[in-house]
Structure 1
């Protein structure tokens, strides 16, 4: 029995190398993820969790807070998110000027109003009726004003400019009418151009609500009939998700699961076609906002991410990978670090376990019951059962210190 407790030098070397290898892998993963935090696309576990499979699928997917990206397709929620980001932008850069604030607000949320200078309305020009709802003249401020939630249409612009006997030549010069008539014509052109610029929130709302391809369309003349409603891509996506979830619960054979994998891939294509344009708008909005800043202001660094549940999961994962990797490398608290790392990797394993009846995880790896994560879990538990830190690591110093005190 005494011989069984002996471990050869080569075995000790290999076990220590195994610990160091796993520690380095965890540390490098953590450092790589930290490096991405300062990029435009910081690392997130959201994609991995959203694609969870197996008996714990719902648990892991729900950890993301929005497993099907429905929040990206809700115009009110996106508006609230972008408005919140605008405020966080202002808070992060407190020395931003009033002019920069105004440009930022116009870019993100839109202006409260659009105006062009005009000393007075030409004689005989009256803005009333439907035009009066879109545009007004303020005699005190001497401005032609369009409300921020209104956008002058080309037809309205034409009607306004037709009120004065002015024409625009091919070379851009105005002819006809009095100077006041020409000033009015020019003011209408300016306020039209300014009101034509949509904010990012307005573009997003137009994409999600104003596009019949996405939002669908109801023909009031045929409402209640089979031709009265045209289903949009958003509703098609929701219906496809509901059908998939229902069929997933009923799938009890491999061929059914294989078919569901194909359906899921199609659903992801639908999701991408709907969500990616909104994500792209957000990226463009942020890029354009940072362009408003001076080099001195940019020195404050990027805006910290919003403190959501998903953000906390990301930060905890990065911290765990980095800290546990360091502890395994230097051999400090080795047994505890190995057990903790095994628990973390076990959670990774359970997101997409290669078990019978569970759809295969995407990627080139083909596993059955055992995969790389589980192998590392077993290896870490073996390391936890051995005094590898006492063989090579800071634990050795503590071991010697306590043994010395014990012997004395």
Structure 2
């Protein structure tokens, strides 16, 4: 024994590189999948996830989704949000009269669809009424049973996701009205905080995953991955009695897959896996050493 932590350092390095690639692929694919969904009616949004947050930090995550406005699935309030978006869309892309009329027709079609498939649809109507009752009890600081406490964020998540699907449908239909010249104006700047959060999460996943896959700025990427995973964990911690303790057929208590992956990312941040197999070796050879002399052996 020579005091080495590993008797097979080569194998250890190989497995750490594989672990880095696995976490990187997980992040990269998640980010790309969410980005690709933005042009579809099932566009991903963090809103439902944030609204469904539980645990000690639930209020913090709820405020991120609320955008300083109360949660409201009222039919008139939702229609007003869509009208406001159509107005902003028309101003940004300078729609002509024909396009504005077509945009109004799309808004009317969405209103009818929302009435048939959301507000008056038996399943969603029941969820909405149940959510309103539980929400009123919560706001009145009345006692909520454990079933009601778990049901409230779950119903809120379902409703938020359905509203997001309808909203994405409107956006896609409006974008189809644009000419090539109008499309060159670029997308509308996000008006809501949740839109900016969505962009940050999606591109953050892609950037972190890409850096881990390439072995570029690996330690920073590992810390970024650990930070995101910590937020995911804290939004729904698997604590006793909370919905986050059950995910599908899996049951957690204190330790979840997000926590395990976070610890793995932190462990990787203490290693030089990017130099062993990645672009960090090139950065070290071409930039770090010439500029700062890092890694040079001191003369005897």
TM, length-normalised to structure 2: 0.74
Q: Does 1:260 align with 2:259?
A: no
Please say if residues 332 and 389 of structure 1, whose CA atoms lie closer than 8 Å, have aligned partners that are also in contact.
yes
User: Corresponding residue for 2:45?
Assistant: 44
User: Corresponding residue for 1:3?
Assistant: 3
Q: Does 1:27 align with 2:28?
A: yes
Q: Does 1:389 align with 2:277?
A: no
Q: For the structure 1 residues 280 and 388, does the alpha-carbon distance in structure 2 shift closer, same or farther, using more than 3 Å as the test?
A: closer
1:250-301, Cα deviation, whole Å (9 max, x unpaired): 67xxxx53x3356538x828984x995x77875675566566x377578669
Aligned positions of 1:7-406 closer than 5 A: 8-65=9-66, 70-73=71-74, 75=76, 77-94=77-94, 96-105=95-104, 108=107, 199=108, 237-244=131-138, 257=146, 259-260=147-148, 263-264=151-152, 268=155, 272=159, 289=174, 293=177, 304=188, 306-359=190-243, 360-400=245-285, 401=289, 402-403=293-294
1:67-89, Cα deviation, whole Å (9 max, x unpaired): 998433162x4354233222233
How far residue 18 of structure 1 moved from its aligned partner, in angstroms, is 0.3
What's the secondary structure of 2:65's corresponding residue? coil
How far residue 92 of structure 1 moved from its aligned partner, in angstroms, is 4.3
Q: Quote the Cα distance in structure 1 between the aligned partners of 2:215 and 2:170.
A: 47
1:109-152, Cα deviation, whole Å (9 max, x unpaired): xxxxxxxxxxxxxxxxxxxxxxxxxxxxxxxxxxxxxxxxxxxx
Q: Quote the Cα distance in structure 2 between the aligned partners of 1:16 and 1:235.
A: 51
5+ residue gaps, structure 1, are 109-198, 212-232
What's the secondary structure of 1:64's corresponding residue? helix
Q: Quote the Cα distance in structure 1 between the aligned partners of 2:294 and 2:128.
A: 68
Instruction: Name the structure with the higher helix share.
Output: 2
Q: Which has the larger radius of gyration?
A: 1
5+ residue gaps, structure 2, are 121-126
1:293-332, Cα deviation, whole Å (9 max, x unpaired): 3775786699547421111111111121111111112222
| Alignment length (residue pairs) | 284
1:335-385, Cα deviation, whole Å (9 max, x unpaired): 222112111101101111112343334422211111111111111111111
Q: Quote the Cα distance in structure 1 between the aligned partners of 2:198 and 2:93.
A: 25
TM, length-normalised to structure 1: 0.57
